[in-house]
Amino acid sequence: AQSVTQLGSHVSVSEGALVLLRCNYSSSVPPYLFWYVQYPNQGLQLLLKYTTGATLVKGINGFEAEFKKSETSFHLTKPSAHMSDAAEYFCAVRSPTGANNLFFGTGTRLTVIP
Amino acid sequence: EPEVTQTPSHQVTQMGQEVILRCVPISNHLYFYWYRQILGQKVEFLVSFYNNEISEKSEIFDDQFSVERPDGSNFTLKIRSTKLEDSAMYFCASSLGAGITDTQYFGPGTRLTVL
């Protein structure tokens, strides 16, 4: 069974500061990993995903995430926060075999302070 | 850019009433999903649907729930007799295929409040 833990339901950063949103997963096999973002009144939008290969994955809007198998982590980072990054961020996993449904974390609300 | 739409954005109902949540997936997509998020909890998978059949469902998706694709564009989730604990945000999603390269595209959600 897969599960995801997102540490910190709320994260605040200053504009221009580093963004770090944490995600740890539990899976019996190396899963596929995803970050989704939800802006107000919009659907969840895929930021990036890891399947196989290079462990550092680059996504849209300057975000990237690194798959660390030894730490069972897939933390999301961005070097410099922008006001437009304020949103809810969801980490998710999916089994590489079988069903294609996603298992999500509880989400992290990012606030960017001017 | 094509997007998944959901109506209504907010639904308020009395306990025991039936509700139907509606979704219009992206037009050429073949796989459809419902997820829900109870306030403060994880987004949870409910059901996936392909070729007019349920392909996967979670333990949450009991006999009170049903899904239907009544025409070529809509995908609905029906809750027959709502309970207080059904209050949640319900997300519809669709994807072109079921492979790892097939991104699931989500709608903005319907907030269901059961009184």
**Interval B7-48: pLDDT, tens:** 999 999 999 999 999 999 999 999 999 999 998 888 899 999
pLDDT of residue A87: 96
**Distance of alpha carbon A102 from alpha carbon A32, whole angstroms:** 9
CA distance B94 to chain A (A): 11
B95 contacts A101? CB cut-off 8 A: no
pLDDT of residue B32: 96
B109 contacts A104? CB cut-off 8 A: no
**Interval A87-106: pLDDT, tens:** 999 999 987 777 788 999 99
Residue B64 has pLDDT above 90, yes or no: yes
**Interval B39-63: pLDDT, tens:** 888 889 999 999 999 999 999 999 9
Sort out which chain A residues have CB atoms less than 8 A from B41's CB and list them: 106
Range in A66-75, B50-59, B93-102 with the lowest mean pLDDT: B93-102
pLDDT of residue A53: 87
Nearest to B110 by CA among B13, B22, B26: B22
Report residue B91's pLDDT band, with 50, 70 and 90 as the boundaries: very high
CA distance A66 to chain B (A): 18
pLDDT of residue A29: 77
Measured between CB atoms, which of A43, A51, A90 is closest to B4?
A: A43
pLDDT of residue A40: 84
**Interval A78-92: pLDDT, tens:** 999 999 999 999 999
A101 contacts B33? CB cut-off 8 A: yes
Nearest to B31 by CA among B63, B59, B4: B4
B103 contacts A46? CB cut-off 8 A: yes
Say which amino acid occupies A3: S
Q: B62, exposed or middle or buried, with CB in 10 Å at 0-12, 13-18, 19+?
A: exposed
pLDDT of residue B34: 97
CA distance A36 to chain B (A): 10
Instruction: Pull the structure tokens for residue A49.
Output: 């995903």
**Distance of alpha carbon A11 from alpha carbon B87, whole angstroms:** 26
> SS3 for B85?
helix
Average pLDDT, chain A: 92
Q: How many CB pairs under 8 A join A and B?
A: 65
A101 contacts B56? CB cut-off 8 A: yes
Say which amino acid occupies B109: G
Residue B1 has pLDDT above 80, yes or no: no
pLDDT of residue A2: 78
In this prediction, residues A15-38 reach a mean pLDDT of 92
Of the CA atoms within 13 Å of residue B109, those in its CB half-sphere come to 21
